[in-house]
């Protein structure tokens, strides 16, 4: 498929350009903040010489353009620099944090997907029954509820009330004892999954309703297929296209939503690194986390676009037609 | 269709199964080897006390991992630690300090006078970011005639010299980069620092003094107070070093499993005027503002029954404390009268630079409504901590601001006309200078009391209240410090029964 190859090339170029633009935006926005990152290193008793030395250390005494060039130069070498404050290299620190944030995001995503498929399809197929209505109601409610509130509620029930799961934190030996690590992730994963499945199941319900009302489904059923067979053979593929676009966005949202969830559950992941980075004005850490998560979001969008095209020949035809 | 419910049940079930396979809790653990889990909101930024590690590194390391020649006890006294004895010359300019000869660093090296010299020089070095740097500008020379003797020569008398030395950690001079590791002499060694999560200290068996009463200390860091409280409720931590909001205290107060201790803090909430600019260059205006504020009501609205009112910069743990809360009483009529006398019968308008974090925004709104009663309009300008540092502290571009001042013995800043608040009184400057060069502590105390009284009479700033220092701990725990002076938290006496 040469059309697909051209598309891949074009799409990859777009990804690279987006990343560069995002880097510039991140860099400039941070510099627009009032104050000086060197201040984080100083106390209220600092002498003028200490202030000068601190600015030199973090490089905030150089022209903005030079600072960006330095940073971009590092990035090309896949070096995210060193934290202003802890002086630890940012890259390895992010890698450590991802050991928590990635499993959290992916587990929550899979769980949310399963939940919302069941809820969304049931709510659509059984729209005229009482539990179909209840499930739609759950989805509506779920959208209105903030993530941290669900987290607090779950902590209240499972940690403070029943005492069966920890209220937060992550084992000191990380994944050495996977059961222990999973226990720590259980509530955060559940929190994210519940909130995510609420919005996701609405999309799935809408997509299913679309399919149910379609001519091709009626035709298939007229040809003798049961509802289940017709849905499986013709419905899934058609319904999947809009859902996958949403899934891509939701997966990205989950990663970014980790900031809130990790703070509620005291998980030392990417989100808490970003939060402390912002509190401490540690530009190196903030930039590192933002670039990595931007890359993640761009890659997910990239994959979602490609999967959509693989599923739906009409989209591929559109690319070919444009030639 | 039962599928959705069945699936939900499976998920909850799976969570419960996972919950069931929790690691077995060591129940019959010997108290001497117990692990003490300490909850804190102040994670160190790095592990050095000369590179801006912040109060977190002091809390975790001071007295636990690193030791000074002297230590500041929980009740504010200065006692020898690595120093065995000292001799002060008649003129107060030469301090000859003899070191203990039985101290080794965690790396195994014996402590010598060279390490002391290097540690002090690290704090006074050009690239040092130590908050204490300026206190040591009086040192004109450090000599090490032998391995256990250090001789400090001062350019002028400094009655606080030994006190200031308590802030300097003695570090192995041969150690390399210590921003992520340590080499101290304290009763614990650093086992592991997991950034964003925990810092673990292990008892060091070769410690020169009394060994720690517990086997391991885990500082667990939280970014959110509720999460921290929950962890104490579920037993994941044993003690919280410093409660920052009274809201959560009720759940512990009503439960015998927890003990709440209120110690004395040194953190003062200030309405700091820029004394250089009109109308705050007029003491009468400052006094009027002070008298227009019901500080008692403010304290109650923020801290409930906790906290203390103060009438000057000096907290009760400083030797020169005296109760000056009556100097500028809450009296709206008096405030109006003073304003009229100062030439502002209809009040005036000013901008209050308010740091965006708690409790400052709440305090600002309280002041806004109180000062409105005497005709003063307050425009609240919310700024970040970082912006405060640049705009207010460095550039002095402000009319008035709110800030918490955490240090003990910091009334002396009123003797520095270049400090951000710009209080400029020749008499006070002279007293502060004389106090530092006093021959005896009595003389020093008497002079600083005079400073106290003068700044209160001038309402150099409004000292709104003194924060409470509240430690909440499991009732199984004993031996923890309650005052939290200088953000330190000695863990070595903590016993878990």
Tracing tokens 């009184």 back to the chain, one arrives at: B425
CA distance B284 to B286: 5
Contact B35, B200 (CB under 8 A): no
Residues of chain A contacting B195 with CB distance shorter than 8 Å: 86, 88, 93, 96, 268, 273
Over chain A (323 residues), the average pLDDT of each successive run of 10 is 80 89 88 75 69 78 83 84 82 90 90 88 80 78 80 86 83 81 88 86 83 80 79 77 80 79 86 84 88 89 85 67 45
Count of CB contacts below 8 A, A vs B? Answer: 176
Cβ-defined contact of A44 to B383 (cutoff 8 Å): no
Which domains are delineated in chain B?
29-65+186-257+475-497 (3.40.190.10), 73-165 (3.90.76.10), 264-468 (3.10.105.10)
Cβ-defined contact of B126 to A265 (cutoff 8 Å): no
User: From the candidates B3, B195, B218, B418, which should be mutated to test the interface with A, based on the most A CB atoms within 10 A?
Assistant: B195
Residues of chain A contacting B358 with CB distance shorter than 8 Å: none
In this predicted model, what pLDDT tens digit does every residue of B193-252 receive, in sequence order? 888 889 999 999 999 999 999 999 999 998 888 888 889 988 889 999 888 777 778 888
Cβ-defined contact of B198 to A36 (cutoff 8 Å): no
Q: Which two tokens stand for residue B129?
A: 């970011």
Compute the nearest-CA separation of A78 from chain B (Å): 22
Residues of chain B contacting A169 with CB distance shorter than 8 Å: 197, 220, 231, 236
pTM (global) more than 0.95 = no
pLDDT > 90 fraction of chain B, expressed in percent and rounded = 61
User: From the candidates B1, B2, B4, B257, which should be mutated to test the interface with A, based on the most A CB atoms within 10 A?
Assistant: B4
Q: How far is CA B251 from CA A151, B260, B359, in A?
A: 20, 11, 22
The 10 Å Cβ neighbour count of residue B294 is 16
Exposure letters A170-204 (e unless 16+ CB within 10 A, then b): bbeebeeeeebbbbbbbbbbbbbbbbbbbbbbbbb
Tracing tokens 């908050």 back to the chain, one arrives at: B131
Compute the nearest-CA separation of B336 from chain A (Å): 34
Peptide bond connecting B342 to the previous residue in cis, omega within 30 degrees of 0: no
pLDDT of residue B338: 95
Compute the nearest-CA separation of B313 from chain A (Å): 16
Radius of gyration of chain B (CA): 25
ipTM: 0.74
Residue in B405, B420, B411 with CA at minimum distance from that of residue B486: B405
Q: Is the dihedral of CA A241, A245, A247, A248 positive or negative?
A: positive
Q: How high is the mean pLDDT of chain B?
A: 88
| pLDDT level of residue B29 (50, 70, 90 thresholds) | low
pLDDT at B446 over 50: yes
pLDDT of residue A43: 63
Q: Which two tokens stand for residue B227?
A: 């999460």
Helix or strand holding residue A272 (H, E): helix A270-280
Is A135 or B33 the better-scoring residue by pLDDT?
Answer: B33
CA distance B493 to B478: 8
Contact A108, A100 (CB under 8 A): no
Least confident range of A218-222, B110-114, B141-145 = A218-222
pLDDT of residue A164: 81
Exposure letters A207-240 (e unless 16+ CB within 10 A, then b): bbbebbeeeebeebeeeebeeeebbeebbeebbb
CA distance A113 to A1: 31
Q: Which residue of B has its CA nearest to A269?
A: B196
Residue in A292, A307, A302 with CA at minimum distance from that of residue A255: A292
In this predicted model, what pLDDT tens digit does every residue of B43-60 receive, in sequence order? 887 887 666 556 788 889
Cβ-defined contact of A41 to B52 (cutoff 8 Å): yes
In angstroms, how far is CA B207 from the centroid of its own chain?
27
In this predicted model, what pLDDT tens digit does every residue of B259-291 receive, in sequence order? 999 888 888 999 999 999 989 999 999 999 999
Q: Which residue of B has its CA nearest to A259?
A: B223
Helix or strand holding residue B58 (H, E): helix B54-61
Cβ-defined contact of B384 to A33 (cutoff 8 Å): yes
Q: How far is CA A183 from CA A115, A189, A220, B7, B23, in A?
A: 20, 10, 46, 19, 10
- Average the pLDDT over B317-338 and give the result: 94
Give the 3-state secondary structure of residue B133. Answer: helix
In this predicted model, what pLDDT tens digit does every residue of B361-402 receive, in sequence order? 999 999 999 999 999 999 999 998 778 888 898 889 999 999
Give the 3-state secondary structure of residue B193. Answer: strand
Pairing of strands B35-40, B198-203: unpaired
Q: Which two tokens stand for residue B318?
A: 């400083």
Contact B180, B193 (CB under 8 A): yes
Compute the nearest-CA separation of B373 from chain A (Å): 33
Contact B379, B352 (CB under 8 A): yes
Which domains are delineated in chain A?
2-76 (no CATH), 94-312 (1.10.3720.10)
pLDDT at B9 over 70: no
Give the 3-state secondary structure of residue B352. Answer: strand
Q: Which two tokens stand for residue B146?
A: 């032998």
- Backbone dihedral region for residue A177 (phi beyond 0: left; psi -120 to 50: alpha; all else: beta): beta
Residues 6+ apart with CB under 8 A from A263: A148, A271, A272, A275, B223, B224, B227
Q: Which two tokens stand for residue B39?
A: 């909850």
Compute the nearest-CA separation of B487 from chain A (Å): 14
Residues 6+ apart with CB under 8 A from B81: B67, B68, B69, B70, B71, B166
Is B403 or A199 the better-scoring residue by pLDDT?
Answer: B403
Counting every residue, how long is chain B? 497
Is A126 or B464 the better-scoring residue by pLDDT?
Answer: B464
Q: Which residue of B has its CA nearest to A51?
A: B129
Pairing of strands B349-355, B83-88: unpaired
pLDDT at B17 over 50: no
User: From the candidates B5, B9, B13, B18, which should be mutated to test the interface with A, based on the most A CB atoms within 10 A?
Assistant: B18
């Amino acid at each position: 498929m040469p059309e697909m190859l051209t598309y891949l090339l074009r799409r990859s170029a777009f990804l690279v350009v987006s990343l560069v633009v995002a880097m510039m935006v991140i860099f400039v926005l941070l510099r627009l903040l009032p104050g000086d990152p060197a201040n984080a290193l100083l106390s209220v008793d600092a002498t003028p010489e200490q202030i000068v030395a601190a600015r030199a250390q973090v490089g905030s005494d150089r022209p903005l353009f030079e600072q960006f060039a330095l940073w971009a130069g590092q990035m090309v070498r896949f070096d995210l620099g060193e934290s202003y404050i802890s002086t630890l290299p940012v890259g390895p620190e992010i890698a450590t944090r991802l050991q928590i944030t990635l499993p959290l995001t992916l587990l929550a995503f899979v769980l949310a997907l399963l939940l919302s498929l069941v809820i969304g399809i049931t709510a659509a197929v059984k729209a005229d029954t009482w539990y179909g209505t209840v499930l739609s109601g759950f989805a509506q409610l779920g959208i209105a509820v903030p993530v941290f509130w669900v987290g607090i509620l779950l902590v209240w029930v499972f940690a403070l009330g029943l005492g069966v799961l920890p209220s937060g934190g992550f084992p000191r030996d990380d994944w050495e004892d996977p059961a222990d690590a999973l226990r720590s992730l259980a509530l955060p994963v559940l929190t994210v999954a519940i909130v995510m499945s609420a919005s996701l199941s609405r999309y799935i319900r809408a997509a299913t309703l679309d399919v149910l009302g379609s001519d091709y489904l009626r035709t298939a059923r007229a040809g003798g297929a049961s509802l289940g067979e017709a849905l499986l053979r013709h419905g899934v593929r058609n319904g999947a296209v809009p859902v996958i676009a949403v899934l891509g966005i939701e997966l990205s949202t989950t990663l970014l939503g980790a900031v809130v969830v990790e703070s509620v559950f005291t998980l030392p992941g990417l989100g808490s690194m970003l939060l402390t980075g912002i509190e401490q004005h540690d530009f190196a850490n903030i930039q590192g986390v933002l670039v990595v998560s931007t890359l993640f979001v761009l890659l997910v969008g990239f994959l979602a676009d490609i999967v959509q095209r693989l599923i739906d020949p009409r989209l591929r035809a559109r690319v070919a037609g444009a030639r | 269709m039962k599928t959705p419910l069945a699936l939900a049940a499976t998920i909850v079930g799976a969570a419960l199964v996972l919950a069931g396979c929790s690691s077995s809790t060591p129940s019959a653990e010997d108290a001497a080897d117990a692990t003490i889990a300490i909850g804190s909101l102040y994670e160190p930024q790095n592990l050095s006390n000369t590179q801006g590690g912040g109060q977190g590194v002091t809390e975790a390391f001071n007295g636990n991992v690193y030791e000074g020649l002297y230590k500041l006890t929980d009740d504010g006294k200065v006692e020898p630690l690595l120093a065995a004895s000292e001799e002060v010359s008649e003129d107060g300019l030469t301090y000859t300090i003899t070191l203990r000869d039985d101290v080794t660093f965690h790396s195994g090296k014996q402590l010598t006078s060279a390490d002391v010299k290097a540690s002090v020089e690290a704090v006074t070095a050009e690239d040092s970011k130590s908050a204490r740097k300026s206190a040591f500008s009086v040192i004109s020379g450090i000599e090490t005639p032998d391995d256990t003797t250090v001789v400090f020569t001062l350019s002028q008398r400094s009655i606080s010299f030994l006190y200031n030395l308590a802030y300097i950690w003695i570090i192995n001079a041969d150690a390399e980069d210590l921003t992520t590791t340590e080499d101290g002499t304290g009763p614990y060694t650093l086992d592991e620092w997991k950034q964003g999560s925990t810092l673990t200290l292990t008892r060091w068996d070769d410690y020169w003094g009394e060994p720690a009463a517990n086997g391991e200390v885990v500082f667990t860091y939280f970014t959110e107070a509720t999460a921290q409280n929950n962890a104490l409720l579920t037993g994941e931590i044993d003690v919280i070093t410093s409660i920052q909001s009274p809201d959560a205290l009720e759940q512990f107060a009503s439960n015998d499993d927890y003990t709440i201790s209120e110690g004395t803090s040194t953190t003062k909430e200030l309405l700091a005027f820029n004394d250089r600019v009109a109308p705050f260059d007029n003491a009468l205006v400052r006094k009027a503002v002070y008298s227009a504020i019901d500080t008692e009501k403010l304290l109650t609205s923020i801290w409930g029954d906790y906290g203390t009112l103060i009438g000057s910069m000096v907290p009760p743990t400083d030797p020169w404390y005296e109760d000056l809360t009556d100097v500028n009483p809450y009296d709206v009529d008096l405030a109006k009268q003073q304003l009229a006398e100062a030439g502002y019968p209809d009040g005036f308008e000013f901008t209050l630079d308010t740091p965006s974090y708690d409790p400052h925004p709440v305090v600002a709104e309280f002041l806004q409504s109180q000062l409105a009663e005497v005709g003063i309009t307050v425009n609240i300008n919310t700024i970040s901590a970082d912006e405060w540092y640049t705009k207010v502290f460095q550039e002095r571009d402000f009319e008035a601001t709110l800030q918490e001042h955490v240090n003990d013995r910091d009334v002396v800043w009123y003797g520095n006309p270049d400090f951000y608040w710009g209080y400029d009184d020749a008499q006070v400057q002279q007293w502060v200078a004389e106090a530092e060069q006093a021959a005896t502590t009595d003389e020093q105390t008497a002079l600083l009391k005079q400073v106290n009284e003068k700044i209160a009479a001038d309402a150099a700033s409004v000292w709104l209240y003194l924060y409470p220092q509240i430690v909440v701990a499991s009732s199984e725990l004993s031996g923890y410090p309650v005052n939290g002076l200088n953000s330190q938290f000695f863990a070595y006496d903590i016993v878990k029964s």
